Structure 1
Amino acid sequence: MEPAPPDVSAPTRISGSTRLYAVLGDPVAQVRAPSLLNPLFARLGTDAVLIPVHVEPDDFAHVFQGLIRMKNLDGILVTIPHKAAALRLADEVSPAAAAAGAVNALRREPDGRWTGENFDGTGFVRGLTGAGHLPEGRRIVLMGAGGAGSAIAAALLAAGCAQLTLCDPDTAKLAALVARLEEHWPGRARGEAAPALEDADIVVNATPLGMRPDDPQPFPLLALAPRCVVADVIMKPRETALLKAAAALGHPILHGAHMLDHQLDLYRTFFRLDEPPGP
C-alpha cells in the first residue's frame, strides 16, 4: 500500500532548529501570507514558519529592531501601514523599492545585513496581465500613494502604461511619490486631487478603504467609462464593496488576492528557499 502524501496544509512541526519569518502589519488579521508561505515551506521540506505580528506604527521601529536581533529570524514581510518605514530601516534596498519608497520583504544576508525589496507592484502587474488587462498604452488612475500604491505605480510605469494619475489626500506624500517616479519615467505620472475618472482605462484602489464594512467607496463608480477595469488591492474581504458594485455595473474586476498570489514565486527566489541550507 502506497504511503499517504504529506499534508502540506498541516501546521509546521516547530522545533529548536526551526527558522523564523514574520509578517508585520496593523491590522494583521487579514494577511494571507502565512496561508501561502507555510504550505510552501512544507512542500519544500524547509524547517521554517511564518508568523503574524501585530504592531502599531509608533512601535514599528522598536519591534523591527528587536526582531532583527533574533539569530534564527531569516525574513520579514511587511504590510499596511509599515512599508515606507521598513525601507528606512533596511540596510540596502533594490532600485524598484527605492523608486516606490517602500519595501514589503526583507531578508537577512550572510553578513547579518538586511536587504529590502518590494514585490507588490510586480505581483499586481502579473495579476493584471494574467487576467488579460495589459497595462501597456493604457490610461490608469491609482488611488493611494502608500506602500502598496507606490510599488504598483512604479510597476505600471515600468510595464508601459501611457499615463498614470495618482490621488492621495496626503499631498506631501503624493508629491514625493510623483517626484520619484518623474526621475525614472519623466512626463508619464502626475498627481491630482480629483482625477478624470471618465478617461481611465483602469482604476486601482490601493487605499485601505474597503477593509471594513462601513468604509466609504474610494471613488465614484458612476464616473467611470463603460468597461473600465476596476482593481482592488484589499485581500480580505475578497469581494469588497467596491468590486461588488463595479461588477454589478458591468465593469471587469480584479481581486486583491491576485497581487499576493503572483508574489509567491518571487518570495521563493528572494528568500533563497531552493538553495541548500548553510553549514
Structure 2
Amino acid sequence: MSDILSIPNPTGATRLYALLGDPIAQVKGPSLMNQLFAKLGTDAIMVPMHVRPEALQGVVAALRRIENMDGMMVTIPHKFAVCDAVERLSPAVQLAGSANALRRAADGAWEADNFDGRGFVAGLEAQGHNPAGQVIGLVGSGGAGVSIAAALVEAGAAAIRIRDVRPEQSERLVRRLNAHRAGVAQLEPEGTDWRGTHIMINATPLGLRLTDPLPFDPLALAGNTLIADIIMKPRETRLLQLAEGRGMPVFYGEHMLSHQIEMYRRFFFHET
C-alpha cells in the first residue's frame, strides 16, 4: 500500500522538472527531488529523460516552450553544451564552464547554475575533510570535474593537479582557475605520480562498470590519502573497494548529491 501511495499523481496544476542525461540509469536526482517535493507538499514532479548529445539543443528548446516546465537538472555528458541553451550564467558556471541546473526566470529567460562543486565541498566538510590548504589530485575535467575544481579553489585548496584524456579540455580549465588565482592549478600528463596529494578524486565515468580500468592506483598513494569518487551507482566502485581494503579514508559519490538537494530546492524555488 505504501508503494501505491508513493506513486506521483500529477494534475493540470503540477509543475514539471526534467533531468537530462546519457546514460540515465545511474541517476538518483529525480528520486531525491520527488521525495523533497512530497515532503514539502509541493505539486511538482521530476522525470529523468534519456537525451543523446545530438538531440540536446532541440530537447532543451522544446522543454523551454512547455509553460509548466520550471527547471531541469543536467548530468553527463551535457553539462558543457547546455550552457549555450540559456540566456544567463551564474558566476560558478562562468568559472567552471559547465552547468547542472537550469530554471525559468520571472521574465521568461532561463538561468544556469552549477552545484556539483559546492555539493562536493559541502560533503567533504560534513565528513570532516576540510580542503583548505590541501593538495588535490583530480582525474577528469568533464562537467562535474570542472565544477569540483572551481569549488575547491574557492574553498582555499593549496593546489589542484588535473589530468584528463582530453588535454585541451584540461588546459582550458587550468587557464580559467589560474586566471582566478594565479598558480593554483597545474596540468598533469598521463602516468603522473600522484604521491604528495592529500585528496585524490575520480571525476570520470570510470567505475560505472566493473570492467572499467582504474582512473588511478590508490595503492600507490600514502595510506592517509582521501580517495573520492563521484560515481553514485555502484556506490562502492572498484576504486573505493581497493582503498577501503587498505584502510584508506574514502568519500562516496552520494555525499556530493545529498548536499546538493537543499541547493537545488533554493535554486528551483527562487530562494537564491
TM-score range, shorter chain: over 0.9
| Aligned twin of 1:151 | 147
Are the aligned partners of 2:100 and 2:113 in contact in 1 as well (CA < 8 Å)? Answer: yes
| Aligned twin of 2:29 | 33
Q: CA deviation at 1:230?
A: 0.1
| Aligned pair partner of 2:239 in 233, 239, 242 | 242
Q: Secondary structure at the match of 1:169?
A: coil
Kindly provide the CA deviation profile for residues 217-245 of structure 1, in whole angstroms up to 9, marking residues without a partner as x. Answer: 00012221121000000000111111011
Change (3 A) 1:129 1:9: farther
Please report the TM-score for the alignment, with normalisation by the length of structure 1: 0.93
Are the aligned partners of 1:226 and 1:250 in contact in 2 as well (CA < 8 Å)? Answer: yes
Q: CA deviation at 1:99?
A: 0.5
Q: Please list every run of 5 or more consecutive structure 1 residues that lacks an aligned counterpart in the other structure.
A: 1-5
| Aligned pair partner of 2:99 in 95, 100, 103 | 103
Are the aligned partners of 1:8 and 1:39 in contact in 2 as well (CA < 8 Å)? Answer: no
Q: CA deviation at 1:273?
A: 6.9
How many Å separate the matches in 2 of 1:188 and 1:181? 7
Kindly provide the CA deviation profile for residues 71-105 of structure 1, in whole angstroms up to 9, marking residues without a partner as x. Answer: 11000000011000111222101111110000000
After superposition, the CA RMSD in angstroms is: 1.7
Q: CA deviation at 1:11?
A: 2.2
Kindly provide the CA deviation profile for residues 170-219 of structure 1, in whole angstroms up to 9, marking residues without a partner as x. Answer: 01111111111111111111111143311111000000000111111000
Matches within 5 A, 1:1-279: 10-194=6-190, 195-272=192-269
How many Å separate the matches in 1 of 2:32 and 2:270? 14
Question: 4+ runs of 1 displaced by more than 2 Å?
Answer: 6-9
Q: CA deviation at 1:51?
A: 0.1
Structure 2 counterpart of 1:22, one-letter code = A
Change (3 A) 1:114 1:273: closer
Change (3 A) 1:198 1:53: same
Structure 2 counterpart of 1:78, one-letter code = V
Total equivalences in the alignment:
270
Q: CA deviation at 1:12?
A: 2.1
How many Å separate the matches in 1 of 2:179 and 2:50? 35
